[in-house]
């Protein structure tokens, strides 16, 4: 049912030109730098594929990717799932029983973590997770669970999990807002019809989820990309430590870019990540297009 209409192309022109200038050119420049050895000032020295070979053999690089996969779970899967549940809950049940003002209030509260500057969030979480005097361990001791008290960010075994927990806290607001906006589009008559037919909450939930499929796909893809790019939280919370327990590719690239001034190598790491992200995107968006073609609206 694809209609190829003419005349729509013109609307794309300004956006695309700007894209090429602001993103395309830097991308190409960075690509060429990745084939060089450079400190950021002066002349780059062409080294061909040497950087790529080093990167693929670098154990820190691979450690960072492994960590990233776990983070994808924490940033994409769990918050999206919680976001779905919460958004439908708020939209359907809570707005009926407690009113839209209550819904708005809680929605604002749940989105707040996304508003907090990451640097500050990092400091505060550092205080909360402080092994001796932090709020979390103090609370555990209060409830007699002192045995569970840990050095959350300092123990390599728990560091990544602690970061994951913080990321879930941080991320929930994002799908929540998008899903709730999407739920506005749902035709209430469909829901009413289902209720009349005696649907329970689970079946209603499935209907809602089906109706906001586009938003769901967008959230999944963008969260995945965000988790692959994750940087500031790691920078502020653990600097990739202890050891390499929480190292991620973009922090590794950053270290090379700015701290070690191995700009060529840093570009290489960034390029490899970009390639992986692009492959994911291509798969995702192509599937998404096929799916929406088949859907009926």
Q: Does 87 bind another protein (CB under 8 A)?
A: no
Least Å distance between CB 144 and another protein? 20
Residue 151 vs residues 112, 122, 141, 142, 241: alpha-carbon distances, Å: 27, 16, 14, 17, 13
Least Å distance between CB 165 and another protein? 11
Going by C-alpha positions, the residue among 259, 209, 212, 224 that lies closest to residue 78 is: 224
Residue 73 tokens read as 């779970």
Distance CA 204, CA 138 (A): 42
Site track for another protein across 271-290, x = CB under 8 A: x-xx--xx--xx--xx-xx-
Site track for another protein across 44-83, x = CB under 8 A: ----------------------------------------
Least Å distance between CB 164 and another protein? 15
Distance CA 160, CA 125 (A): 14
Whose Cβ is closer to another protein: residue 186's or residue 209's? 186
Q: Does 39 bind another protein (CB under 8 A)?
A: yes
Chain positions 145 to 164 lying near another protein, rule: CB under 8 A, are: 151-156, 159
Least Å distance between CB 206 and another protein? 17
Q: Does 4 bind another protein (CB under 8 A)?
A: yes
Q: Are 72 and 161 spatial neighbours (Cβ–Cβ below 8 Å)? A: no
Chain positions 168 to 227 lying near another protein, rule: CB under 8 A, are: 169, 172-173, 177-178, 180-182, 184-189, 213-215, 217-218, 221-222, 225
Whose Cβ is closer to another protein: residue 119's or residue 148's? 119
Least Å distance between CB 17 and another protein? 10
According to CB under 8 A, which one of 49, 81, 100, 201 is a site residue for another protein? Answer: 100
Distance CA 281, CA 269 (A): 18
Q: Are 129 and 240 spatial neighbours (Cβ–Cβ below 8 Å)? A: no
The per-residue DSSP string of 61-100 comes to HHHHHHHHHHHHIIIIIHHHHHHHHHHHIIIIIIHHHT-H
Q: Are 256 and 58 spatial neighbours (Cβ–Cβ below 8 Å)? A: no
Distance CA 273, CA 69 (A): 13
Q: Are 204 and 194 spatial neighbours (Cβ–Cβ below 8 Å)? A: yes
Least Å distance between CB 73 and another protein? 19
Q: Are 67 and 246 spatial neighbours (Cβ–Cβ below 8 Å)? A: yes
Whose Cβ is closer to another protein: residue 70's or residue 288's? 288
Q: Does 241 bind another protein (CB under 8 A)?
A: yes
Whose Cβ is closer to another protein: residue 15's or residue 144's? 15
Least Å distance between CB 267 and another protein? 7
Least Å distance between CB 98 and another protein? 6
Q: Are 165 and 177 spatial neighbours (Cβ–Cβ below 8 Å)? A: no
Distance CA 287, CA 217 (A): 10
């Amino acid at each position: 049912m694809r209609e190829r209409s003419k005349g729509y192309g013109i609307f794309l022109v300004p956006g695309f030109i700007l894209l090429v200038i602001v993103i395309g050119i830097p991308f190409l420049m960075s690509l060429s730098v990745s084939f060089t050895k450079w400190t950021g000032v002066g002349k780059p020295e062409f080294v061909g594929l040497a950087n790529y070979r080093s990167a693929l053999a670098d154990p820190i690089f691979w450690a960072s990717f492994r960590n990233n996969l776990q983070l994808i779970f924490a940033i994409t899967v769990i918050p999206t799932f919680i976001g779905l549940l919460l958004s439908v809950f708020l939209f359907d049940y809570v707005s009926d029983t407690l009113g839209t003002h209550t819904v708005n209030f809680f929605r604002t509260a749940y989105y707040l973590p996304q508003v907090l500057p990451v640097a500050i969030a990092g400091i505060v979480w550092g205080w909360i997770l402080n092994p001796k005097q932090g709020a979390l361990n103090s609370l555990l001791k209060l409830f007699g669970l002192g045995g569970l008290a840990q050095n959350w960010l300092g123990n390599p075994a728990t560091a990544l999990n602690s970061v994951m927990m913080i990321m879930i806290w941080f991320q929930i607001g994002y799908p929540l807002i998008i899903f709730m906006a999407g739920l506005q589009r749902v035709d209430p008559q469909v829901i009413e019809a289902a209720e009349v037919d005696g649907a329970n909450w689970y079946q209603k939930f499935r209907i809602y989820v089906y109706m906001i499929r586009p938003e769901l796909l967008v959230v999944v893809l963008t969260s995945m990309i965000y988790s692959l790019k994750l940087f500031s939280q790691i920078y502020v919370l653990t600097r990739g430590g202890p050891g390499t327990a929480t190292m991620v590719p973009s922090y590794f690239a950053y270290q090379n870019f700015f701290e070690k001034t191995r700009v060529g190598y840093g570009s290489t790491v960034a390029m490899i990540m970009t390639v992986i992200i692009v492959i994911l995107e291509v798969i995702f968006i192509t599937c998404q297009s096929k799916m929406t073609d088949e859907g009926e609206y």
